[in-house]
Chain A
Amino acid sequence: MTAHFYWNGEPVPFRPGETIAAALLGAGIVHLGRGRIFCGIGACQGCLVAMTGAAAVEACLTPARNGLRLSPLAEEQADHD
């Protein structure tokens, strides 16, 4: 099976070296809860995603890794200043 991570529990395939954002868009996923991929360079923070067992990361900066479990930010995280 190709490398994949999980978005809301659903497997999303990626090619090694791709960012999480590239893989999500490649799979046709544009709604990241309240967030979305916008600037592609780590500036807008719209693409922050929650990662089980670690801090939230920008999907557009973070290389995808096999088995990662990702989901949209919880409301209070998205609101966090």
Chain B
Amino acid sequence: MTDGPVLVVGGGPAGASAAASLAEAGLPVLLVEQRDALGGAIHRQPAPGHAHHIRLPARHRRNWAALTARLSTTAGRIEIRTRTIFLGVDGQGRFLFDDRAAERVFACRPRAAIIAVGAVETIRPFPGWERPGVMTAGGAQVLLKETGRPPQGPILVAGSGPLLLAVAAQLAEAGNPPVAVLERGRPWRAPGALAQLGLSGGLVGEGLGYLARLAASRVPYRTGAEVTRAEPQGDRLKVVIRTGSAEDVVQVRHLLVHDGIAPNRTGIPLPAPDAAVPVLLAGDGREALGADAAILDGRRAAMQLLARFGRAETTTPAEERGLSRARAVQTALAQALHAEAAPPPPETLICRCEGRSYAELAALPEDASAREIRLMGRFGLGACQGRFCGPMIAALRGRPMPAAAPPRWPLRPVSLAALARLTTDETE
């Protein structure tokens, strides 16, 4: 074990909470974030000089203000490196980073690491999801928060989950309400689950607020409706919508899709109990439970490390209770929005990076292993390393797709020149 800092990767709510908790206990922390500012998926900050058009619910704003205050109180013990990408752990156990501003790769051996790299959105594939003009709803929201400018031209928002409503309401607020929001599930048919959500805190109130905003802009919220196809037509997308057995077609410039979120695990070193450098996951990157839970989970991970170093009790009952509540909310939400998955048409692209279709996936043996799916099927081998097709394949085959072991690095393309400059004497 070294006396170096504890590494925290990811400057979202989970990473910020972990870093502050460790620093408050007196430990030096290296906090690494790939973007130019902290905040994570939810608190993406507007570019300097841009007005803050997109207002998050007050609870989230208060939570983030509290976290940034804690970070500045402990600033002396936290080294924050933005525009720095965690690339993974190499064969010699070195943690590698790409400092994008300095165009250089560096390595360090931390005392321990908390990896809080958040979630990725999942989507259910349909023919055309890979076309330009189709974006994830959360990705579009991140851009909207950054600029305050909505994408121009008609927008359709489709898929499943509360994020659809949030994004649509924010687009309306920013001046370009979507033509419709399509929710695959039929929440009104699951009153039990809705009632349970109503009892469990702010989520339903937040959702009703968004619905009211959409009603004010006359944006239809259609449940039990889904996109079955999108194809380019001039500079537009022709989108086919199915509602029960009825079909209709809309022409839009942008199609925003989203079917939930899942932990971003690809290439992330998983904790081994006997590892020389303990590695813990925190936040949505451990279990996708949302922003409030991410703060609790960051603190829980920090306390687990402190306990390991003999500096705190392991148990964090308040955090555990909060996490169970968040889990119950997610379960009720999944019940309220459940929609049976039908296999997509054979020509549907599954792996966009390598151009592999559902027909090619379905042709693999029923019991193909993750390795066979990769090597025989050539799925998950492209630049995104399976971050998108991995969850799709798992959902379509009805079982998880195990991660490649050991994790592959670099997580991202990195300049060979920058890698070549990495020598042992650059190890910090």
Residue positions of A touching B, CB distance < 8 A: 15-19, 21-22, 25-26, 28, 30-32, 36-46, 48, 54-58, 60-63, 78, 80-81
Q: Does B418 contact A (CB under 8 A)?
A: yes
B residues less than 8 Å from A32 (CB atoms): 132
Known A38-B139, A48-B413; 6 more pairs at CB < 8 Å:
A17-B46, A36-B132, A36-B134, A43-B264, A44-B352, A46-B352
List residues of chain A with CB within 8 A of the CB of B152: 28
Chain A residues with CB below 8 A from B352, complex form: 44, 46
Alpha-carbon distance A44/B143, docked complex (angstroms): 15
Contact with B121, one of A15, A25, A39, A46 (Cβ below 8 angstroms) = A39
The minimal Cβ–Cβ distance linking A30 to chain B, given in whole angstroms, is 4
B412 on interface, CB distance cutoff 8 Å: yes
Q: By the criterion CB–CB under 8 Å, are A60 and B139 in contact?
A: yes
Bound CA–CA A36/B151 (angstroms): 14
In chain B, residues 4-36, which have Cβ atoms closer than 8 Å to a Cβ of chain A? 34-36
Residues of B within 8 A of A38 (CB): 134-136, 139
Bound-state CA distance A21–B144 (Å) is: 11
Assess whether B388 is in contact with A44, with CB atoms less than 8 Å apart: yes
Classify the secondary structure of B's interface with A.
loop
B395 at the interface (CB under 8 A from A): no
- Given contacts A44-B387, A45-B383, are A17 and B47 in contact (CB under 8 A)? yes
- Chain B residues with CB below 8 A from A26, complex form: 147, 149
A20 and B210 CA atoms in complex are apart in Å by 30
Given contacts A45-B383, A55-B414, contact A61 B34 (CB under 8 A): yes
Main SS of chain A's interface residues?
Answer: loop
User: Considering the chains assembled together, what is the distance between the CA atoms of A80 and B48 in angstroms?
Assistant: 35
B271 at the interface (CB under 8 A from A): no
Tell me whether B365 is interfacial, beta carbon within 8 Å: no
Is B417's CB under 8 angstroms from A41's CB? no
Residues of A within 8 A of B377 (CB): none
Q: What are the residues of chain B within 8 A of A46 when measuring CB–CB?
A: 352, 384
How distant is the Cα of A28 from the Cα of B141 in the complex, in angstroms?
A: 17
Interface contact A43-B135, CB-CB below 8 Å: no
Docked complex Cα distance between A41 and B151 (Å): 17
Of A15, A43, A44, which is within 8 A of B49 by CB?
A: A15
Please provide the 3 A-B residue pairs with the shortest distance between their CB atoms, ordered closest to farther. A40-B139, A17-B47, A55-B415
* List of B residues within 8 angstroms of A41 by Cβ: 41, 118, 120, 138-139, 142
